[in-house]
Every structure is written in structure tokens, then in C-alpha cells.
A and B are shown apart, each in its own frame.
Chain A
């Protein structure tokens, strides 16, 4: 096991900058998720750890070794590919054992080891089959077995679950979580699925346009998204965002918008300074922090009912406001909600997020900023 360090790494493809001036430390035994939309540079970052891409500038270290220009075979890494990349002309046993073959292990030894790993992954009975003769979930586990069959410093995952159907994906995710707890491996995991990142990571690096926007443990990313981009990306459904007018008086900020009634919010002194002169802010509230409001209480937002989706344990209620902005609430009830016309959603002050015009989150008073 080893740590990984990016030292001012930039990667360009022609004119396009995939990764820009990246500084990132990944600790020994950590499970790091690189999270972001397609084209944000997360896969390029992973491939630079693997040695499948060479940085345009900057340095990459694995442990104490500078691996920037090292061939992949010498890096002591394992990687699971999005398309699995199982060799179609070899049966599963040979596929799983291939890394041992190139290490010069005898056939008996490597097949014994392949069987060991395959049994753990519950594909031991398929070792004679060819990759084209097994299901997608089994192919995924075979590629995982091939990555686990030999000891590595770092385990790399390039969207390994994105080709599975929803049910298998949950199962595989749980297994990966178990594996990480069991082995304590250093892993870097690329995904565009925020739920995977939340479930697996010890720290998430949220990336956008070649830069890391936030690098923090999952709950921190969820509780205090650094920017509106992160707020919009993490959480399902994403955080509701609403442009508001703000006025600061006596250390409190008063928010105003059509259909919004908000109690004055105490903001931190730093935030108050940042607010100075800024009257346009963005208000953010997570869907799970919204409730159906009854009377004329404070901290509510109203709009016309747009959708009312019952999911079983919860109901998604979506409002559409006059400015076409939508607000979604997750109401945790298994009863059907009879709603019509204009609906009011309520929220608590401690669940309010404020973002400055640049999209950066303002620290709130109750947070030790």
C-alpha cells in the first residue's frame, strides 16, 4: 500500500486542457473517489496514476517513487476498466491469472491462486468458461478478480459499475465497500455517480473542468458543499438553488425572493464581510430538508404543484415557480400526499446554504468556519 501525490500536474490534449494544475494528496489506505461530470478530467487523472497518460507538466508520486514517466508495468498497480477488458481468447482462469503469468509464475501456482480469488468473488464455478459465455455481473467480478490476484500498492477503478444494471450495481457497490474494509487498500475510484462516491469514499474529490472543486470526506461534501456546482452534483435529487436578494442588518441577513418567506439568518462575521455590497446571492436547500408547510409560518417557499411522485418510502414533491425554477422536496412518508394548486414547503434555518455570486459557499454562523 502507498500514498499518491500529484504535484502541479497539467495534462493537455492538443488545445484542450483535461487536467489543470492539479495538487492532490491521497493517503495510504484511503479510498478516494474522483467525482464529476463527463469531461471533467477525472478519468485522465486516474490514467496518469496508472501510467496510461503522461502529464504535460508536473509530477506524480506513488509512495516515495516518482512515477511520472514510469511504464505502467513497473508501478505495482491494479486497475479495473469500465469495459472490463477481459481477453476474449482466454477462459476465466487464464484471464484472472494473466498478471501472474507475466510475473513468471508456474501454471499450477497461478491457477491455484486464480481459483482462490475466484471463489471469494463467487465465480469459482465459471473458471473454464470464456468471457463471452458469462453475464455482465460475472464479467465485472472477473475483471475485479484479475485486479486482486496479485498484491499492488494502489488499486484503480475506472467507473467499474457503470455497465451494470441498477440492482447488480448496488450489490457490487456493497461488495467493494466490504472489500475496502477488509483489505484496507489504497484505492482511487472514478465515478460520475454521486451515490457510489458517497458510499465508498473516505474522501471525495469533486472535479469540474479539470480542477478539483472540493476535496473532503463524503459527509463534509454533503453537509457543506463548497460551491453551487458541488451542491448540484452531490445529493439525489440535487440541492434546490434559488437566486435571492440579500440585505445585511445587525449581523443578520434577510433574504427576499418571489414566494419566499425567510427568517433573518445569523451569518458569520467573515460571511458578513463577503456579503458587503453583494445583494445577489443563491439560496440552497436540500430536498430532504424540506417539509410540507401548513400555516403562515416563516421559512417557506411556495409554488404551483408540478409533480407528485410516490416512491414507496418517500414522496418527491416538485413545485414550479413563476420564474420556471423548480423546487423539489423529499417527504419521508409512505402515504400518498393529496396536494393541489399552490403548495408551501418549509425548511429550518440551520439547513440553509448561501452561495455568493461566484457560487462559493458562505460559512454560516453556527458552523465553526
Chain B
């Protein structure tokens, strides 16, 4: 009997503890959902009373902030296209072609990427971009992001493609397909789940970045949302909580939508036609 009681209390204690931990993590999220609709929002958690969209009205009146969201989208989509296309082609070649020393190439690239995208390389990156004359252009931001993310993307994708049997493309080529046809008809659809993962990862990375656009861009109308969010700070540097909350919600929506869309459309899954 005591054994059962013991077990009983252990279960209860465990449940209470996990519930507390869960609440600890949930609180900021709840604040994040409620605060934007509360015209008197503060750092504390409160149910909106009255429930109002006035915060959003003010935010939508801020041209600079809205433009920031648009700029973020341009930079992210541009970067994602470059990273997605570049990483797919490069990792496919690295995986399938008999280039000697291709493993070394991949690892060196990975090593470089952690240097290039880090803030340590900010000064040389700025000097290079300045030298090419691309300072204060969206292209510069897109290129630097693509360069920084590509090696890791290639590394992830190459691993993925390595795990896909060559016989897919081989059977296509034997059946009469050119290498290009075999790639687009057979290899690309099979690799797609891997590409989707890389694309989402790259998008989230660029979308949330502050430092690179902040340094490479000059004019305020080109700044992305991560920089524009500072327009909701007062001159003294204190955040205007109400507007910040509303803007943050808007800022995070595209990422959430992207996740939902991808898991609905592709489901981050993989289906097999190869008999193992």
C-alpha cells in the first residue's frame, strides 16, 4: 500500500514540477499574444481590457516600420532563392560527382562559413562591399547572407543527398534521360524535403538578422524589420511596450506562416520507392 502511495505522490510531484516549468516558458508567449491588443500594455501580464487594435493602428501609421517588414521580406526571399538554388546544385555535384578530395572541400567550406557569417568578419566584409560599391544596396545584404549561409546549407544538403541512392538517376539515364532531365525529373523531387529544410532554415536566419543589414545599409528606407523595430524606442532608449508588442507580432507572423505552410504542403517527410 505504501508503495502505491509513494508512487502516487511521486507522480503528483513530477506533474506539478513540469507544469511549473511549462508555465515559466509559456508566460512570455502568452504576453506576446495578449499585449499587442492591450492599449495599456506593460511588462506585466494582463488580459486586454478593453480589447483593442489601436496599437496596430499606430504601428500601421509608422511608414518606416512597415517598410522595414517589406525590406526584410525582400532580403529574406532574395537570400533564400540564392541559398536554395546554389546549395542544391553545389551539394548535388559534391555528392554525385567523382571529384577527388570533395570531402575536404566540404569541410573547409563549413569552417569558412562559421568565420564569414560571424561578426569577426564584419570589417573585411564591409571593406569588400564598399570596394565593389554596393554599400547601401539590398543586393549587398542578400549576397553577404547567401555567402554566409551557403556552406552550411551545402553541408546539410550534401548529407541528405548522400543518403539517397544513386540508382534513381541511374535508372532514369538508362531509360534515356539526359543528366539534366534525370536531375529535374527524378533527383530534384526526391531531394525536395531536404531543400525545404534548408530554405526554412535560411529564411529564419536572414529574417531575424540585425547586424549585417545594419552595417551594410545607410538609408533608413532600406532597413529591415530587425533594425526598424528600434523606431519603437523613445529617444531615451526605453521601449514603447504597446507598439513594440504589436510590431513584434507582425514581425513573427511570416515565419509562423512559413512553418505552417511547409508542414502542410511538404510535411518535412520523406517517402521511399527504394527497396532496402
A residues bordering B, Cβ < 8 Å?
50-52, 71-73, 75, 77-79, 81-89, 95, 98-99, 101-103, 130-132, 136, 139-140, 143, 146, 150, 156, 163
Contact = CB atoms under 8 A, between A and B. Distances in A.
B172 interface: yes
Given A81-B167, A83-B165, A102-B181, A88 B173 contact: no
21 contacts: A71-B178, A72-B170, A72-B174, A73-B174, A77-B174, A78-B174, A83-B165, A83-B275, A83-B276, A84-B274, A84-B275, A85-B167, A88-B190, A88-B274, A89-B190, A99-B176, A101-B185, A130-B273, A132-B271, A146-B171, A150-B176
B174 A52 contact: yes
B173 A130 contact: no
B168 A87 contact: yes
Contact of B273 (A52, A101, A131): A131
Contacts of B177: 73, 98, 102
A82 B170 CA distance: 12
Contacts of B173: 51-52, 71-73
B175 A163 contact: no
Given A73-B178, A87-B190, A102-B177, A139 B273 contact: yes
B186 interface: yes
A98 B185 contact: yes
B271 A88 contact: yes
B274 A85 contact: yes
Contact of A136 (B175, B186, B190, B275): B275
B189 interface: yes
B124 interface: no
Given A72-B173, A81-B167, A150-B176, 15 more contacts: A51-B174, A52-B173, A73-B177, A83-B274, A85-B165, A88-B271, A88-B273, A88-B274, A98-B175, A99-B176, A101-B185, A102-B175, A146-B171, A150-B175, A163-B275
Interface of B: 165, 167-168, 170-178, 181, 185-186, 189-190, 271-276
A89 to B, nearest CB: 4
Contact of B175 (A52, A130, A139, A146): A146
B174 A79 contact: yes
Nearest to B181: A102
Nearest to B167: A85
Nearest to B165: A83
Contacts of A77: 174
B170 A52 contact: yes
A155 B176 CA distance: 14
Contact of A50 (B168, B174, B176, B272): B174
Contacts of B276: 83
A179 B190 CA distance: 32
A156 B171 CA distance: 11
Contacts of B175: 73, 78, 98-99, 102, 146, 150
Nearest to B274: A83
8 smallest A-B Cβ distances: which pairs? A131-B273, A86-B273, A88-B273, A99-B175, A85-B167, A85-B171, A89-B189, A79-B174
Given A102-B181, A136-B275, A87 B174 contact: no
A50 B177 CA distance: 13
Given A52-B170, A73-B173, A87 B189 contact: yes
Contacts of B181: 102
A84 B176 contact: no
A323 B43 CA distance: 88
Contacts of B167: 81-83, 85
A306 B167 CA distance: 45
Given A89-B190, A98-B185, A102-B176, A81 B271 contact: no
Given A83-B167, A85-B168, A130 B271 contact: yes
Nearest to B175: A99
A1 B150 CA distance: 48
Contacts of B274: 83-86, 88
Given A73-B177, A85-B167, A89-B190, A98 B172 contact: yes
Nearest to B164: A88
A131 B186 CA distance: 14
Contacts of A51: 173-174
A102 B184 CA distance: 12
Contacts of B172: 87, 98, 102
A132 B174 contact: no
A81 B171 contact: yes
Contacts of A150: 175-176
A88 B272 CA distance: 6
B275 A79 contact: no
Contacts of B165: 83, 85
Contacts of B190: 87-89
